[in-house]
Structure 1
Amino acid sequence: MSTALAKPQTRGLLAKRLQFHIVGALMFAVAERRKKACADFYRNYDSMKDFEEMRKAGVFQSAK
Structure 2
Amino acid sequence: MASSVLTKPQMYGLLAKYLWFHIVGEVVLFWQVAALYKFTGAEPRKKAYTDFYRNYNSMKDFEDMRKTGTFQNAK
TM-score range, shorter chain: 0.7 to 0.9
Counterpart residue identity of residue 31, structure 2: H
Q: How many residues align?
A: 59
Q: Does 1:22 align with 2:32?
A: yes
- The answer to which structure, 1 or 2, has the higher relative contact order (CA under 8 A, 6+ apart) is 1
Give 1:1-64 correspondences, 5 Å limit: 7-8=16-17, 9-10=20-21, 12=22, 15-29=25-39, 30-64=41-75
List gaps (5 residues or longer) in structure 1. none
Separation in structure 2 between the aligned mates of residue 15 and residue 50 of structure 1, nearest angstrom: 50
CA-to-aligned-CA distance 1:22-58 (integer Å, 9 cap, x gap): 1111221211111111010000001111011100000
CA displacement at 1:17 relative to structure 2: 2.8
Bigger radius of gyration, 1 or 2?
A: 2
Percent identity between matched residues is 51
Q: Structure 1 length as normaliser, TM-score?
A: 0.73
Q: CA RMSD in A?
A: 2.2
* Letter paired with 2:16: K
Segments of 4+ moved more than 2 angstroms: 5-8, 12-18
